[in-house]
Structure 1
Amino acid sequence: MRGVRGNREQRTENSEQRTANREQRTENSEQRTANREQRTANSEQRTPTLPVFLESTNN
């Protein structure tokens, strides 16, 4: 059986792990936002070339 000191140390470790998890989730969220913005930029770049491509295949 763990003593009071062991429990306290475990709670401290748990708290530190939760903090690390929270920071990781924040980083993940920021990365998803950056990915979304990149996909939007990629899509906007491709869109103007699409009608030109379709027009050339219809001739």
Structure 2
Amino acid sequence: MLPIPELTLPVLGTAPLNLATALLPRDNPTDLGPKTYIAYGRRAPRRTLGLLPHRR
């Protein structure tokens, strides 16, 4: 059987197996605010044979 309370309680000292509670707040800063990821791309050039000059 797993020791669920010892693994999951979020209070320091009550869950000796929960390593996240042992970290100081400065060691694990919270992620603040919304984020936006913007990327710009280009369309690939067309590869059509009709636009190439004919050689004789």
Q: TM-score, normalised by structure 1?
A: 0.29
Larger Rg computed on CA atoms: 2
Q: TM-score, normalised by structure 2?
A: 0.29
Comparing both chains, which one has the higher relative contact order based on Cα–Cα distances under 8 Å and sequence gaps of 6 or more? 2
Structure showing the higher helix proportion among its residues: 1
